[in-house]
Structure formats: structure tokens, C-alpha cells
Amino acid sequence: MSAYIASIVSVIGINMILALGLNIITGFCGQVSLGHAAFYGIGAYTAAYLAKLGAPLPLTLLAGTIMAGAIGIVVGLTSLRVRADFLAVTTMGIGFVFLGFVRKQKWLGGELGISGIPASGLHPVAYAALIVAFALGVIALTLWIKRSWMGFTFDAVADDEDAAPTVGISVSIYKLTAFGIGTALAGLAGGLYVYFARIILPDTFDFVQSIAILTMVVIGGTGSVWGVVAATIGLTLLPEVSRAASDYRLLIFGAMLMLVMRFSPGGLAGLVKRRAAS
Amino acid sequence: MLFVELAVKGLVYGCMYAMMAVGLTLVYGLLRILHIAHAGVFALGAYVAVVVANATGSLALGFALALVVSAIVGVGIYRFAYQPLLGHPPFVPMIVSIGLFIVMQEGFRMVFEAYGISFDNNPYYTSTVAIAGINLNYVEIAMVIASIVLLVGFGLFASLTRAGIGWRATVTDPQMATSFGIDPVRVRYINFLFGSGLAGLAGALVGLLNNYVEPTMGGLVSYKALAIIVLGGLGSVRGTLIASLILGVVESYGAIYLADVFDRDAIGFLFLIIVLMVRPQGLLGRK
């Protein structure tokens, strides 16, 4: 495997972890989040900061995951207060608050971010394999969640928040769980990204990134694990396939978001299901 | 003196936010859609103004066309993007709107290049006038006057004219309004026509104020406008106006006094999140 392919595989793996994490919050539990990149950033900054202090890789990844998950639960508290459209704008706001904070912190490198991050100690191919292993683990985890008791309660919360308590579901606890798991996964992706890129900039974690992650989830089909996996691979490879696709990456993302939602709100997964049914 | 000056500058920004946010609130009040593509309409207004003004040398013509073109495009967005999706859950049209906004922004980048365009002849950009010891730019004054005239005009329209009363009836209860012979589709057209025209004009004025028009100029303003309509209580026009002015002033002070901790754009959202935790329905929203 060449270094080029290893880097593409790494990016696909990281995007997959991000998209599957958001899929738990938005797809399973029905809470629209427009600020997922902030948690990606929290994980990355935590891992990068500790790595610069000399912490070993397993510790930095763990710290990034826990930090993002913990802040994610705090942000999840807002979902108990505000709903639907309010929540979408609030989570978008969290993204801007995170960026605005990081940009002004000298100890986090301000606008210039953190550079000179120590190497992972693994060969790029071995590191790509590590990322893929994590991504496979996340696929297994989300498949398991979907079929577990917790998955059904998420479904109930997504479907009708007011009816869920009548069958004994504590809506708040499951919402917070969804936020906790989803954002922790974003933190893990952030940690993995740190050793892959070895430099992090605030702008990597901006609103556009949040939308890019949302695009993967929506185009794959919100709530469908395999749909999201397929969309992540497709959308990550797209800019690599042709020069034109890379120049107009955002344009293509935007157009796809619009067209998929306009004609098949269930995404690719919805399309496949409809085919199978007819 | 700095204290007063910051407040005045904040109110000027607040007027600009109000022109953006009122359109969003109108759309939300009527259709329950977070109309993010409004940002694209804002930038479109700025582009039309700068291109027409530079081509013909007439600023007035540029502004008039900005108003007309963005109003028509706004109606087009409703007709072709939102109307077919009205039966779906609200996040479906919202995501379509995000997609549309990205497409518009990238479209501007393709047509006009990523670098901004300036007005060839913009005497108002540099000239200021001192009012009670505070230096104000001509464009800033124009922005305040335009927003007051247009919003008061809209208030009169809504309370005095037949069409305005029909509009209010439809917002309150679409079904009841329909049974009294009001055409809800026409009301939606008026809604988008007015809101988008306002956004286009705001875009043109901001372009003139900074003497710079660029593809991404709509982004931040409209994200803040979204924060404002949530802050004001979604769908409440009065709440939106108050929240716009408050946000302008809060940002103005925050950018000076919190400069070491947060940047200007984060302050508005931080304020929004704090208010929502205390009052989840927004400042003037009903539960």
C-alpha cells in the first residue's frame, strides 16, 4: 500500500467515525446537531496538547474521547431545554463559540493552531490500519446499538418525544446518552486526526466541516449505518477521483444535499429500500 | 464616550441584523422552516448592486435592481425548493436550505472569482458626519434609516391593508384563514418577496459600507440572524427586532471587553446559549 492510498484510507476512516457518531445523535435519536465539528476539534485539541507534553498515543486518544464526550453531555443538556429548530441553531452556536474560544487562546496556538505534534511511532500504513480498525469497531458498535434496547428507545425518542415517557422511557437520559456517545466518537476521530496530520488549525473544525459531516449522514440516509458508511466512502473519494470534483467539492456537496433531500429524504438507504419494495 | 460610541455602533449593526432577521422570522412564522439560504439572497443583493453600479455608474439603479432581483429569487426559492417539501419533517427543508446556500455561495465564487469586488465609485465609504460627537459613516446612517422606513412600512402594511391582515391571519391559523377566502399561497409569495427584498437591500448596503463584496459575505450575518430569530422567540417579529438591537450592542461591547477570551462572532452565540438556558422559548416567544 502506497503512502497516498494509506492517507486516503485514513481520511475515510476518520470521516466514517465522525459520520457514524453524528448518526447516533441525529439518525438514531433524532436530535439535529449542526455543530459536530466542534467535538471533533475538542478531541483533536486535547490529544494534540497532551501529545506535545509527551503523553503516549493511547492516553491522548482516550483523553480526547473522554473530553469530547464529557463536553458533549453538557451540550446535550441544552437538548433537554430546547427542541428541534432551536436545538439546530444552538448546536450551530456551540460550533462558533468553540472556534471563537480556541482562536483567542495563546496556549492553544490561537489562529495558528498546534504544530510540531510528535509522530505516532507507527508506519503510515500501520497507522491507517489502526484507524480502519477503530472505524470497524465503531460500525460494529453502532450496529449493536441499533439492535439493542437502547436503539429502540432512541427510536421512540426520535419518533415522538412526548409519547416516549408514557411507555416508561426517560427521554432526558437517552438524549444525553446519544450526545455522550456521538460526541465521544467525534473526539476519538479528532485524536486520530492529530497523529495523521501532525498539525491542527482552528479552521479544520469550522461550520463547513460540521455541514460536511451532516452531508455524509443525510446522503447515506439518517439512521442507516450501511448507508452512512457508503456515503462516507463515496463522498471522501469523490474529490480524489477527478480534479474538477476537488475544485467544486463544496458545490457538489451542496447540490447533493439539496437534490437528495428534495427527491429522497431517506437518502441512499431510502432509495435502496424503495427499490426493494417495488 | 467610548461607552456611548460602542452603543451607537452596536445599534447600527443591530439595524443591519434586523433587516436580515425579519425575513427569516417571516419565513419561520409562516412555514416553520429555518431559511438558511437567506444568506445567499443577501450576498446576491450585494453582487447585483456592485455589478450594476459599476457597469452603469448609477448607484441608485444598482440598489433598485438588487431589491427587485433578490425579491424575485426569494420567491423562486420558495416555489422550487420549499413548496414541494411542506409535508416533510422540518429538518428536511432546513437541510435543503443549507444545500441551496452552499450552492449559491459556490456559484458566486465560480462566476465572480473568490476575490471580492469593490464599487468603482463609492464616495459614501469614506465620508463621515459627526452627530453629537460620534462619527458616523453615511452608509451607516442610510442603513438605520432604511431599516426603520422598511420595517415601519411593513408594520403599517400588516396592520392597515387587506393583504396585510390576510398575512397575519394566515400566520396565526392557516386553515381558518383559507376558509375565509385568503389564498395561503399568495401570502407565502408576499412573504418571500418582502423578506428577500429586505435581505438583498441589506446585502447591498453592507457591500457599500465595507466597499467590498465577496462570496462568503452572507455566511456569518445569516448565522447570526438565525441566532437572533431564536433569541427573539421564533416567529415573533417584535422579538426579532428587539433581539437584533440587543445582539448588536452586546457584540459591540463584547468585542472590546472580552477580546482576550472570545472573538466577536462567538459572543453573539454565547449570549444566545445563555439566554436559551434561562428562557428556552426566547425573549418574546410563547411556550
Q: What is the pLDDT of residue B74?
A: 92
Distance from CA of B276 to the nearest CA of A (A): 8
DSSP state of A29: S
Of A84, A97, A262, the CB nearest to B84: A262
> Mean pLDDT over residues A65-84, rounded?
85
Residue showing cell 464599487:
B119
Q: Which of A164-178, A240-254, B32-46, B258-272 has the lowest mean pLDDT?
A: A240-254
Q: Which of A168-177, A244-253, B80-89 has the lowest mean pLDDT?
A: A244-253
Confidence of residue B224 (pLDDT cuts 50, 70, 90): confident
Distance from CA of B57 to the nearest CA of A (A): 32
Calpha distance B271→B257 (Å, rounded): 14
**Does B265 sit within 8 Å of A100, measured CB to CB?**
yes
> Mean pLDDT over residues A33-43, rounded?
93
Does the pLDDT at position B284 exceed 90? no
Q: What is the pLDDT of residue B191?
A: 85
Using a 10 angstrom Cβ sphere, with 0-12 exposed, 13-18 middle and 19 or more buried, the burial of residue B164 is middle
> Mean pLDDT over residues A55-65, rounded?
91
pLDDT, mean over chain A: 87
Q: What is the pLDDT of residue A278?
A: 59
> Mean pLDDT over residues B192-210, rounded?
88
**Does A90 sit within 8 Å of B273, measured CB to CB?**
yes
Q: How many CB atoms lie within 10 A of CB B154?
A: 18
Distance from CA of A99 to the nearest CA of B (A): 7
Q: What is the pLDDT of residue A64?
A: 94
Q: What is the pLDDT of residue A47?
A: 93
**Does residue A173 belong to the interface with chain B, where contact is any CB pair within 8 Å?**
no
Calpha distance B27→B21 (Å, rounded): 10
> Mean pLDDT over residues A8-34, rounded?
92
Confidence of residue B208 (pLDDT cuts 50, 70, 90): confident
Distance from CA of B162 to the nearest CA of A (A): 31
Nearest CA in chain A to B99: A254
Q: What is the pLDDT of residue B258?
A: 78
**Does A207 sit within 8 Å of B103, measured CB to CB?**
no
Buried b / exposed e along B202-229 (16+ C-beta atoms within 10 A): bbbbbbbbebbbbbebbbebbbbbbbbb
Q: What is the pLDDT of residue A183?
A: 95
Q: What is the pLDDT of residue A277?
A: 64
Tell whether ipTM is more than 0.90.
Answer: no
Q: Which of A61-70, A81-90, A222-231 has the lowest mean pLDDT?
A: A81-90
Find, among A170, A176, A133, the residue nearest to A14 by Cα. A133
pLDDT by residue (tens digit) across A150-179?
Answer: 888 888 888 888 888 887 788 888 889 999
Does the pLDDT at position B287 exceed 60? no
A121 or A126: whose pLDDT is higher? A126
Distance from CA of A38 to the nearest CA of B (A): 13
**Does B230 sit within 8 Å of A254, measured CB to CB?**
no
**Does residue A211 belong to the interface with chain B, where contact is any CB pair within 8 Å?**
yes
Q: What is the pLDDT of residue B128?
A: 72
Interface A–B counts its CB contacts (< 8 A) at 129
Q: Where are the alpha helices (DSSP H) in A23-148?
A: 36-52, 57-81, 84-104, 124-147
Does the pLDDT at position B161 exceed 80? yes
Q: What is the pLDDT of residue A71?
A: 93
Which of B77, B102, B226 to probe by mutation at the A interface, max A CB count within 10 Å? B102
Q: What is the pLDDT of residue B12?
A: 86
Does the pLDDT at position A244 exceed 80? no
**Which one-letter amino acid corresponds to residue A261?**
M
**Does B84 sit within 8 Å of A214, measured CB to CB?**
no
> What Rg value do the Cα atoms of chain A yield, rounded?
18
Return the axis-axis angle of helices B162-172 and B2-31, rounded to nearest 10°: 80
Confidence of residue B95 (pLDDT cuts 50, 70, 90): confident
Q: What is the pLDDT of residue B1?
A: 67
**pTM of the full structure:** 0.87
Contacts of B40 in chain A (CB under 8 A): none
Confidence of residue B207 (pLDDT cuts 50, 70, 90): confident
Q: What is the pLDDT of residue A1?
A: 65
**Does B99 sit within 8 Å of A258, measured CB to CB?**
yes
